Amino acid sequence: MNYDVVIIGSGIVGASIARELSRYKLKIAVIDKASELPAGASRANSSMIHGGFDDKPGSVKAKFCVPGNKLWHKLKDELDVHLDECGSYVCAFSDDEVRHLETLLAQGKANGAPGVAIISGDELRSKEPNVSPEIVAALWSPEAGIINNFEAVNAMIESARINGAELFLETRALGLMLDDKGDVRGVSTDKGEFSAPVVINAGGVHSGEIASWAGDNSFRIIPTKGEYFLLDRATKGFIHSFLFSCPSKAGKGITVLQTAEGNLMSGPTATEQDDPEDRSTTPEGLAEVLKGARRLVPNFPVNMNITTFAGVRANTESGDFEISVLAKPRGFVNVAGIKSPGFTSAPAIAEYISGLVREEFADRLTFTPNEKFIPERTNIPRFLYMDMDARKALAEKDPAYAQIVCRCETVTEGQVLEAIRRGARTVSAVKMMTRAGTGRCQGGFCCPRVAEILSRELGLSLDEVTRHGGKSKLLVGKTKEFLLKKEGVRHE
Amino acid sequence: MSERKFICVSCPLGCGLTVTLDDAGEVVKVEGNTCPRGESYARSEVKDPRRVFASTVRVRGGKLPVCPVRSKTPAPKGELFGIARAVAELEVEAPVKIGQVLIHNVCGTDVDIVASRDLAAV
Amino acid sequence: MSERIDVLIIGAGPAGVAAGIGARREGAERVVVLERDWDLGGILQQCIHPGFGLRTFKEELTGPEYMHRFIEQAHSEGVEFRTNTMVFQIDRETNTVWTMNKQRGIEALNPGAIVLTMGCRERPLGAIRIPGTRPSGIYTAGTAQRFVNMEGYMPGKRAVILGSGDIGLIMARRMIWEGAEVEGVYEVMSWPGGLRRNIAQCLDDYGIPFHLRTTVTRIHGQDRLEGVTVAEVDDHMTPIKGTERFVECDTLLLAIGLIPENELSRMAGIDIHPVTGGPVVNDLLQTTNPAIFAAGNVVIVYDLVDNVSDEGLIAGASAAKFASGRIPKTARRIPVKGGENVRLYSPQYVTGETDATIFMRVTHPIEQACRVFAEPGLYSQRLRYARPGEMNEVKIKAEQVRNLPELEEIVIDIQPV
C-alpha cells in the first residue's frame, strides 16, 4: 500500500496531524494497534484543556499550549465536541503555596495565557462552595476547559477521514523500512507494508521505541501511570470546574474536576513504571487519589464512584515534548513524549508539524491544497441533550431513535447504529462514541443490548463480539453446546 | 443412633434441621423445623434427596433462542447432571406453551420436563 | 391534549402487574402499564429457577410461571399493557410522562396518577473500587443470568462469585448445570447476603466453597479476565496482609447488592430516602408528590416477590383512589423512625387510612430469640432470630394510627429478649 505520509498512532496527536495534513492532497495512512479509539494516553487522562500557565516559558510545551487552547475553543464547534469552558483553579493552602501561585501567574503572563489571576480562598468558595475551607488563595485561569476526550479523538480522526485520510486499526507498527540511501521508505506492520516517503511518529508511550527504529536514541520515554476515580453523573454541580492542587510533599498534585458530561472525577497519580501497557489501578494509587481529592474537596462523595481507571502517559527525562525532524533517515518526524498538556497542545502541534513537513520534505512530497477540505464534522446525535421537539423529529425520521439502549445516559439504538456506521466494532468503541455504558450501571443494562446490535449489524455471532478487541470476547460459547462439548456427549 | 443436619430448602425461611437416625438408618426424630414441610423435607433428604431442576432448552424459530424449562416435580439429586445433559440435547420448535411437557420421564426418573413460559414463534 | 389514562404504571415486573390489578379492582377505568421490554414480567423473565410465590400460591414457581399467573389475572381484570415502550422523562411540575416506542414515536402522557414500579439494578464493580485491570469477563450476576437464560450464551468457563446475594448463589448453580466451574463464592461480611437455603441448595449441593470475611482485592488480565486475588478482611473490611491468594478464573460474577432504580423518580422531583435509595412513601405507597405512588424494589429491595406483588396491589389501589379524589385531605402523616438495630425500613409515614405493613432490615444479625416491635405499644412479635438478609415486618392497624395523639411518632426496632 502506497502512501505519502504514514502516521503511527491515532491518539489526539496523530489524529490532529492527520487532519491538518488532509488540507493537502496527500495520501495519508494513520495506523494504530488498538481496536478502538481513543486507546492510549488520549483515552485515560484528565480531559483538561489547559490555560497555559503551568509550562516554563521557552519550553516546547509553552510554545504549543496557549495556541492549542485557542484552537480548541474554535474546534469544539467545527468538530461538534463537548468542551466545557469552565476555567480552572490552582488551590493554595499556605503562604508557600501562594508564592507558587505567583510563579504560575508570572509564567502564565509570559506564555500569553489570557485572564490568569489570583483570587482569594473566599472568592473561590463563592464559586465552588464544596472546596476546602483551608484554601487561602487560588490561581484562576478563565480560558481553561474540560473536553470530552472520547468524542474529541473520534471527531478529529473522523474529520481527517472525511478529508481523505485512511485509518487502520488493529495494525501494529513493527519497524521502519529504509531505502538504498538509508532514508524512509515506509512502515512494516503486522498487516503488511505501508510505503511512504514520510513517517510521523505519534506513538505516545511507545514513541521512544519507534524513534529508536530510526536510530534516534536521544530521548527515553518513562511510562508514568495516572490513576483516577470517576463518579456518578448525579454528582453534577458538586464542582463546576477544574481544581488543581499545588505540587507538595503531601502529593504530586491530585486534581478534582467535573467532566464535560457532568461526572465528578479525581486523579491522577504519577507513578513511573517499566511497562507502557500496564493500566491497572492499585490500592496505593487509589488511596493517594482519594486523599488528594479530600484535601481539595473534603466531602468528596466517593461512595458515588462508578469506576476507577488508569492511563499511562509518555513522560520524558527532559520533561518536555520531543518534536524533531531527523536529518537521517530523511523523512522521519518525531512527535514524541507528548504528555500533559498534550491534549491541549495537539491542534497547535499539528499545525506546526504540517508546516514543518512542507518545509522539510518539499523534495519528497508535493503539497497541493485540498480545495474540498471540509473543516466541519457533526457528532452522532446526543439524545440526552436534545430538546423534546428535536427528539420527536429525530424519532419520527428514524424509529431507532425511539429505542433506548443505555438507560443511565439515555442513549438510543439510533446512536449505537450510527457509531457502528462510523466504524465502532467493539462494545467499548460504542461506549466511547455514544456514552452507552459510561453511566452508573457501567454497562450492566446496555452491554448485552449493545453486543446484540453489534452482532446483528456486523454479522457476527454474539460470542464473537469483543469488549475492546483482541481476546476480549464477552462470551465463550452457546449454553447447550458448551455443556455437551464439556461432558463429551455426542450431539446428534 | 446418629444425627444429620440440613438446611431446609422448602421455603425462604431456611430452617436448620437436625435429623436423628437409628442404627438401621431410619428417621427417629426431626428437630428445628417450623412447619410440616420441614419434617417431610428432612425425611426425604435422608432417604431420597430431590431437587427441582431448572434450565433452558434450545428453540427453533422462537422469539428467544432458548426457552426456560423445569422438572415438574423434584427429581432425584443424583440424576440432576444426567437430566441437564438430556435437556441440553433437546431442541424444540416454537411456539412453546407454558406447562407443555417437553421430555416425559426424563432419564427414567418418572419426572417430566415442562416448559415454564410461553414462547411465541417469530 | 394526550389520551386519558387514570392510572399509569411504569414497569411490568411483579410490582407493576400487581399495581395494574390493584388499580382496576379499586375502580380505575383506564389502567395502562408501560414496559420497555418486548415481553412482560421484568427481571422474573430471566429468574427461571423455582422459589417464587410460596406465600401467594402455596407452591414454589419459577419466575416466568409466577409472572404468567399475575399477567393472566391482569388481562382478565382489563389492565392494558404497552410493551417496547420506555419512559425517559417525567416532568416535575406537570407530572407529564414522556414515552418512546418505535411505532408510536415520542409521546407525552398526563395520567390521573402514576405508579413507579421500575424495580432495582445491581451494584456494579465500580461501587467497590477493586484495583486492577479492566478485562472482559466481569459481569453482575443478573447480566450473566440474562446471557445464559435469555440469550443462550455462557459468560465463561470458570467463575468466581463476589458477594453472596441470592442472584449470585443462584447463578453459581446455574453455571454448574451448564457445565462451567465455580471456584468459590467470596463474601466480605461475616454473614451471607442471600438466603441460607440458597447456600444449601446452590453451593453446598455442588461442593462450591463459600468464604465469609473474604473479598476480591485485585483483578488480573488484559483482554479477558485471567484471575483475581482474594484476601481475608479484618473487622474494618481491610484486606489482611499475607492472606492474599491468586485464583485463576475467566469470569467474575458480582452479587454485591441491589439498588432501587430511581432516575425517573429523581426527575419527577420526589424525595428519595438516603438509606433505602427509594422514594419516601407512606403506607398508601404515596410518594412526596401526591399523584405519584411507588411499589416493589424501586422503593426498598425485598426478599420475596410475594411482598413485591402485595405492595403493587396496594400502590395500584391507592393510585386509583387518588385519581378519583378518594384519598381524604385529612389523612394523617405520622413519621416512622427506626431504632438502633434497624438499617432500613419502608414506609416512612403512616396515614391511618389503611392497615400498614412496615418492612425492615436489621443492621447486625441477632442469632437468638428477639422481639420486633413498634412503639408506642402498637406491635410486638417474638422472633427466633433476626438477620440482615431476611426482612422483618411490623403490622399496624389503621385505627391504632388514628387513635395516636397528634405529633406522635412511631418507633420500630428489633432487640434480643
Residues B57-82 have a mean pLDDT of 97
Nearest-angstrom CA–CA distance, B96 and B119 = 5
- Domains of chain C, CATH where assigned: 1-122+258-325 (3.50.50.60), 124-256 (3.50.50.60), 332-417 (2.60.40)
Nearest-angstrom CA–CA distance, A310 and A175 = 28
| CATH code for the domain of B9 | 2.20.25
Chains near B (3 or more Cβ pairs under 8 Å): A, C
User: How many structural domains compose chain B?
Assistant: 2
- Whether residues A404 and C223 touch (CB distance < 8 A) is answered with no
To the nearest 10 degrees (0 to 180), the angle between helices A427-434 and A149-162 is 100
| Predicted confidence (pLDDT) at residue B51 exceeds the cutoff of 90 | yes
In chain A, % of residues over pLDDT 70: 98
Nine-digit cell at A479? 449454553
Give the H/E segment covering residue A271: strand A271-272
Determine the pLDDT at residue A482: 86
Nearest-angstrom CA–CA distance, A283 and A378 = 41
- Whether residues A466 and C122 touch (CB distance < 8 A) is answered with no
B63 and B98 in one domain? Answer: yes
Q: Kindly state whether B60 is in contact with chain A, defined as any CB-CB distance less than 8 angstroms.
A: no
Q: Kindly state whether C240 is in contact with chain A, defined as any CB-CB distance less than 8 angstroms.
A: no
Determine the pLDDT at residue A492: 34
| Predicted confidence (pLDDT) at residue C40 exceeds the cutoff of 50 | yes
Nearest-angstrom CA–CA distance, A54 and A101 = 10
Determine the pLDDT at residue C406: 75
- Whether residues A286 and C129 touch (CB distance < 8 A) is answered with yes
Model confidence pLDDT, tens digit, residues C175-208: 999 999 999 999 999 999 999 999 999 999 999 9
B28 and B66 in one domain? Answer: no
Residues A277-281 have a mean pLDDT of 96
Model confidence pLDDT, tens digit, residues A351-403: 999 999 999 999 999 999 999 999 999 999 999 999 999 999 999 999 999 99
pLDDT tier for residue A247 given thresholds of 50, 70 and 90:
confident
Residue B14 to residues A347, B8, B85, C188, Cα–Cα distance (Å): 65, 5, 29, 22
| Predicted confidence (pLDDT) at residue A250 exceeds the cutoff of 80 | no
Residues C334-358 have a mean pLDDT of 96
Nearest-angstrom CA–CA distance, A207 and A334 = 8
Residues B31-36 have a mean pLDDT of 94
B109 and B60 in one domain? Answer: yes
| Predicted confidence (pLDDT) at residue C405 exceeds the cutoff of 90 | no
Nearest-angstrom CA–CA distance, B111 and B105 = 5
- Does residue B40 belong to any structural domain of this protein? yes
- Whether residues B88 and A492 touch (CB distance < 8 A) is answered with no
CA atoms within 13 A on the CB side of C4: 4
C416: number of Cβ within 10 Å: 13
| CATH code for the domain of B69 | 3.10.530.10
Give how far B42 is from chain A: nearest CA, Å: 32
DSSP state of A233: G
Determine the pLDDT at residue C2: 67
* Residues of chain B contacting residue A487, judged by C-beta atoms under 8 Å apart: 81, 85
B59 and B17 in one domain? Answer: no
Say if domain A383-464 classifies as CATH 1.10.10.1100.
Answer: yes
Give how far A421 is from chain C: nearest CA, Å: 20
- Whether residues B89 and A487 touch (CB distance < 8 A) is answered with no
Question: Which of B56, B58, B92 is the best substitution to test chain C (most C C-beta atoms within 10 A)?
Answer: B56
Model confidence pLDDT, tens digit, residues C47-58: 999 999 999 999
Of C54, C174, C199, the CB nearest to B11: C54
Determine the pLDDT at residue A249: 60
End-to-end CA distance of chain A: 48
Residues B99-106 have a mean pLDDT of 98
Nearest-angstrom CA–CA distance, B32 and A207 = 70
- Which one, of C47, C49, C50, lies nearest residue C60 by Cα? C50
In chain A, % of residues over pLDDT 90: 96
Q: Are A436 and A429 in contact (CB under 8 A)?
A: no
| Predicted confidence (pLDDT) at residue A251 exceeds the cutoff of 60 | no
Full domain range(s) for residue B83: 54-115
Determine the pLDDT at residue A490: 41
Question: Which of A476, A483, A487 is the best substitution to test chain C (most C C-beta atoms within 10 A)?
Answer: A476
Q: DSSP strand E in A38-141: where?
A: 48-49, 83-84, 88-92, 117-120, 137-141
* Residue with the three cell numbers 420421564: B105
Q: Are C277 and C260 in contact (CB under 8 A)?
A: yes
- Whether residues C153 and A462 touch (CB distance < 8 A) is answered with yes
- Does residue B59 belong to any structural domain of this protein? yes
CA atoms within 13 A on the CB side of C248: 1
| Predicted confidence (pLDDT) at residue C329 exceeds the cutoff of 90 | no
Determine the pLDDT at residue A252: 57
Q: Kindly state whether B89 is in contact with chain A, defined as any CB-CB distance less than 8 angstroms.
A: yes
* Interior angle at CA A127, CA A126 and CA A129, nearest 5: 65
* Residues of chain A contacting residue C103, judged by C-beta atoms under 8 Å apart: 399
Q: Kindly state whether B22 is in contact with chain A, defined as any CB-CB distance less than 8 angstroms.
A: no
A103 versus C1: the higher-pLDDT residue is A103
Nearest-angstrom CA–CA distance, C155 and C249 = 12
DSSP-based three-state secondary structure for A222 = strand
Give the H/E segment covering residue C142: helix C141-146
Determine the pLDDT at residue A486: 75
The amino acid occupying position C376 is P
Model confidence pLDDT, tens digit, residues C209-244: 999 999 999 999 999 999 999 999 999 999 999 999
> How many helices and strands in chain C, by DSSP H and E?
9, 29
| Predicted confidence (pLDDT) at residue C124 exceeds the cutoff of 70 | yes
Determine the pLDDT at residue A491: 38
DSSP state of C213: T
Active site residue A100: no
Model confidence pLDDT, tens digit, residues C255-279: 999 999 999 999 999 999 999 999 9
Of C50, C195, C304, the CB nearest to B52: C50
- Does residue B121 belong to any structural domain of this protein? no
B58 and B42 in one domain? Answer: no
Question: Which of B66, B89, B113 is the best substitution to test chain A (most A C-beta atoms within 10 A)?
Answer: B89
Q: Are A194 and A1 in contact (CB under 8 A)?
A: yes
| Predicted confidence (pLDDT) at residue A345 exceeds the cutoff of 60 | yes
CB contact burial C351-364 (16+ within 10 A = b; e otherwise):
bbbbebbbbbbbee
- Does residue B120 belong to any structural domain of this protein? no
* Residues of chain B contacting residue C203, judged by C-beta atoms under 8 Å apart: none
For chain C, the helix, strand and coil percentages under 3-state DSSP, each to the nearest 5: 25, 35, 40
* Residues of chain C contacting residue A477, judged by C-beta atoms under 8 Å apart: 153-154
Model confidence pLDDT, tens digit, residues A118-133: 999 999 999 999 999 9
ipTM score of the complex? 0.96
